[in-house]
Amino acid sequence: MTKRFIGFDLGAESGRCIVGTLSDGNLKLEEVHRFTTHTVRFHGGFHWDILAIAEEMLKGLVSARKSHGPDFEGIGVDTWGVDYVLVDPDGRVLGYPYHYRDDRTDTIMPEAFAVVPKEALYGKTGIQFMQFNTVFQLLAEKKRRLSLLDPAGAMLLIPDFFNFMFSGVMKSEYTIASTTGLIDPAKREWSWELIDKFGIGRHIFPGIVEPGTILGPLLPGIASRTGLNPGIPVIATACHDTASAVASVPASEGSWSFLSSGTWSLMGVELQKPVLSPAAMKYNFTNEGGVNGTIRFLKNLAGLWPVQECRRSWMEEKKEFSYMQLSGLAREEGFAGAWVDLADPRFLKAGEMPQKIMGCVRETGGETKTGPGWIVRVVLESLAFSYRKTIREIEEVTGVRIERLHAVGGGIQNELLAQFAADATGLTVYAGPVEGTIVGNLGVQAVARGIVSGYQEWRKIVSGSFDLNVYNPRETAYFDANEKKYERILNRN
């Protein structure tokens, strides 16, 4: 039988509406609408233009109906984590939601640790300390003279908001809620103790639901506007994009690590329970929600954001490069012999990225070049070193020897980085599917509807539907020889 689903996958630069068609155990994808995930700078703040994004999503539903008719098995949304929309008790949006790269949380973490010490906070949540975690965003909002938390009826994380828009149901799906830094990973529920200690009103936190929960039918108003059948179920899929990506990994046995590669690199392992040990905190790992009751024990790494920002900077200088051209220039450059700590806070913010990279190299005594190929090479080699370090840390903390690396997401189209990942880690890298996030999104929907029996069956479907590229280690000696130099750069920071 042929079954069709609508999936929305929203990232930092763009969003897509995808129709997934499952027929005879094979999945095919069709992108029916692509759009910018609009941002706006207003009154000194950096925000998401959430209603402009919502309008694009409605256009996506119209395009899906025009391409495939009014009937689908489900609609699901996945997005980045941590950011949220505040709505009043009547469901009206309160202001532009903040972008996680906004400056308001730059100094908030020490204030939070004065209320709940760092060790106690990690012991309760097991979440990696990053200044843009939702808990720190909420504390920054709480400090404002006119805080929008006061009139708020609910805090809806970005995919939860769109699920509400489609279904009228306010719930927080667990995988996205786990990015807030306010979840008890053992109970898979809000940590009310922390919420109370931070003085945040309990009433704004919606009830938690697991990935694969059917929220309800598409609202009649949305159905009427888009021409879709109002009986289509809106499904809280694995709403955090990394959780969806991991659900798509075509692995069945043995000890493997995942790498979700894109603007961010998310690297970790799938576990049955959280790891809240001092070693996990020391290495700043995070315990986020996964499908089927699992925990994604992982680390957020810089990813391809610096390359994206470099390309944007060069475009402003009228130097046009495609990502493929930049990768080609980096390949021609040869080994960079210079690296940077991509976790340096200066790389978090947009602007002047080539200058920041060259400045960091000079600060650590390295020789710099100005060509785009060399700069991109520095980023890619530095990223590969961070993969190497993270794999070693995962093995130390979990006691599990990693046998192979499964990479999914748009970043795997950068074949040079995929090869570096193999070289730096010493692991064979199985790259695919490129559309890992949306594939996982659709898989959770298919399992929720009973069309697929479970996630092991879904991973077999993924394996049979998409080709994988395999990268074996080749230049491990380069990363072996320079590991101590790279570590000195990290220690300096």
Looking at the annotation, which residues are catalytic?
241
CB 148 within 8 A of CB 204: no
Cα dihedral: 243, 245, 247, 248 (round 10): 170
CB 83 within 8 A of CB 53: no
Q: Count CB neighbours of 345 within 10 A.
A: 10
Q: What is the per-residue burial (b if ≥16 Cβ within 10 Å, else e) of 245-275?
A: bbbbbbbeeeebbbbbbbbbbbbbbbbeebb
- Residue of 488, 476, 475, 481 lying closest to 366 (CA atoms): 488
Beta bridge partners of 234: 75, 216
Query: How far from 387 is each of 10, 17, 245, CA to CA, in Å?
Result: 25, 31, 18
Read off the DSSP letter of residue 353: H
Q: For the chain, give me the number of helices (H) and strands (E)?
A: 18, 21
Using a 10 angstrom Cβ sphere, with 0-12 exposed, 13-18 middle and 19 or more buried, the burial of residue 10 is buried
Looking only at the bridges linking them, the beta strands covering 256-261 and 213-217 are unpaired
Q: Both ends of the chain: CA-CA distance in Å? A: 57
Q: How far apart are CA 323 and CA 194, in angstroms?
A: 43
Q: How far apart are CA 260 and CA 267, in angstroms?
A: 6
Using a 10 angstrom Cβ sphere, with 0-12 exposed, 13-18 middle and 19 or more buried, the burial of residue 70 is middle
Q: How far apart are CA 419 and CA 446, in angstroms?
A: 33
Q: How far apart are CA 147 and CA 98, in angstroms?
A: 13
Which amino acid, residue 374? Answer: W
**Cα radius of gyration rounded to whole Å, the chain:** 22
